[in-house]
Amino acid sequence: MIRSGFKGFIFDMDGTLLHTLPDLAALTNIVLEREGYPTRTEDEVRTFVGNGVLSLILQAVPQEISEEKAQHAFKMFCDLYDEYGIKLTKPFDSMEETLRTLKAQGIKLGIMSNKFEAGVREVEQRYFPGLFDVSHGEAANIPRKPDPTGLLVCAKEMGLTPDECVYFGDSHGDMLAGNNAGMYTVGVTWGYQPVEKIKQGNPAELIDSPKDILNFA
């Protein structure tokens, strides 16, 4: 039976709130082309998403290159993100309506992504202005998920305890992070990881539509 009555709803971003894959693939290939490396298909990039930009780039570049060159490609991706990173991105169907309904009910809303924090803030303000109470990405004081630190920071900034929060994500790592934080953790099936992979992170529930998010209010 689905639990309800949560006061805080926290979301992963890529593959959960937003369909970002076309932009991630396009920008990855811009970086690869400029560095003289072979490009990747969108399906390949899909398998690289979920553990932050550095992980994406480390998987996308040729494996034989030096760490210094890989770090250079990572920096280029971040530097070009404002220009190329959000041209094709859009919220998943019914997502904005769902968030507005939750907001109207007085529920606190947060984002915790493995994307670098400046990128998270920019995307949030472009697509969901005024909707989220807190938003965080990877930063000096916030390690990538499945470390629970970012989720715990979100809960604290909302003035809530972890067990008052539900966390939604589309990856195995998201499920581990939510469970590590002591939050009710829900896997979404419209994102970028196969359902069987998500299940390995032991979600409390799986949902198939953004409208299903409302069942936890």
DSSP strand E in the chain: where? 8-11, 18-19, 90-91, 108-116, 134-138, 165-169, 184-188, 205-207
pLDDT in tens, 138-148: 999 999 999 99
Rounded Cα distance, 206 and 114, in Å: 21
Rounded Cα distance, 24 and 14, in Å: 9
Helices (H) and strands (E) in the chain, counts: 9, 8
Neighbour-count burial for 112-136, b at 16+ CB within 10 Å, e otherwise:
bbbbbbebbbebbeebbeebbbbbb
Percent of the chain with pLDDT over 70: 100
Identify the bridge partners of residue 207 per DSSP, sorted by sequence position: 188
21-84 homologous superfamily: Putative phosphatase; domain 2 (1.10.150.240)
Can you give the pLDDT at residue 86? 86
Can you give the pLDDT at residue 17? 98
**Where are the domains positioned within the chain?**
8-19+89-216, 21-84
Domain spanning 8-19+89-216: CATH 3.40.50.10780: no
pLDDT in tens, 6-39: 999 999 999 999 999 999 999 999 999 999 999 9
pLDDT in tens, 69-116: 999 999 999 999 989 988 999 999 999 999 999 999 999 999 999 998
208 catalytic per annotation = no
The answer to whether the CB of 179 falls within 8 A of the CB of 201 is yes
Phi-psi region of 78 (alpha: psi -120 to 50; beta: other; left: phi over 0): alpha
